[in-house]
Amino acid sequence: MIDKILKELKLKKDAEQAKVLSRFFKTGKGQYGEGDIFWGIKVPATREIVKKFKEAHLKDVQILLDSKVHEHRLAGLLILVEKFKKGENKKEIYNFYLKNTKNINNWDLVDLTAPNIVGSFLLENKKERKILYSLVKSKNLWERRIAILSTFTLLRNKEYEDVLKISEILLKDEHDLIHKAVGWMLRELGKRDKDVEIEFLEKYYKTMPRTMLRYAIEKFDIKEKEYFMKK
């Protein structure tokens, strides 16, 4: 099956789009996506291919995840999402995902899959949530992003404790991609319970990274924004 998957992905290659994506996902020397190879396949096209091969064996998925081609890894991860949604060996899929964090190494790969696999598993298995507190302390940028993005599923289900704790741990993180992710999750929290978000911001807005704060208060009115942006 792996040969068929790779063949279909290859048919969707687009050299011009690959150049655009390579710049967008910062693949240059010293950038966060350094060395990532793009084929220029848009996400909807990848999803269409994944639908045909969602029965792929995990051995085939592993081949995709080990690839240097970004869209191969995305396809593999989206197959895992489909398997998880079907309720197919959720614990196995969850463990397989976590064993492959080294291959989940760009923000789109994290954002499109961590809430659907890690977040969904932890929603059903509260005792397993300690993994978030291991991931969030990782030196690996993407594992830290997996930690905060996984809380998206929890807060969607009105469980706010972990998003608040993980956000607090990440207040001193040095990477802009973490600042944006935490701010995004705080903004999503505010959509569901603005009072809880404001309570958190009141405690930390003077010291939290400005990018994180801007993302968190994006939906606030002008006066609220002015209040929180002052130090």
Q: For the chain, what percentages of helix, strand and coil (3-state, to nearest 5) are there? A: 70, 0, 30
- Cβ-count burial 145-162 (b if 16+ within 10 Å, e if not): bbbbbbbbbbbeeeebeb
Closest alpha carbon to 189 in 226, 228, 161, 230: 161
| Confidence band for 1, pLDDT divided at 50, 70 and 90 | confident
CB-CB neighbours of 61 under 10 Å: 26
Query: For residue 45, is pLDDT > 70?
Result: yes
Residue whose structure tokens are 């995902």: 97
Tokens linked to 44:
């909807």
Mean predicted confidence (pLDDT) in 89-100: 97
Closest alpha carbon to 205 in 168, 162, 163, 158: 168
CB-CB neighbours of 16 under 10 Å: 8
User: Hey, what domains does the chain have and what are their CATH numbers?
Assistant: 1-102 (1.25.10.90), 113-231 (1.25.10.90)
- Lowest-confidence segment of 32-41, 121-130, 167-176, 180-189 by average pLDDT: 32-41
Residues forming a β-bridge with 127: none
| Confidence band for 198, pLDDT divided at 50, 70 and 90 | very high
Query: For residue 172, is pLDDT > 70?
Result: yes
Q: Please tell me whether residue 120 adopts helix, strand or coil conformation.
A: helix
Query: For residue 166, is pLDDT > 80?
Result: yes
Separation of alpha carbons 231 and 215, rounded Å:
17
CB 37 within 8 A of CB 70: yes
Query: For residue 231, is pLDDT > 70?
Result: no
CB 93 within 8 A of CB 56: no
Q: Please tell me whether residue 217 adopts helix, strand or coil conformation.
A: coil
Q: Which pLDDT value is given to residue 88?
A: 73
CB 114 within 8 A of CB 149: yes
Q: Please tell me whether residue 69 adopts helix, strand or coil conformation.
A: strand
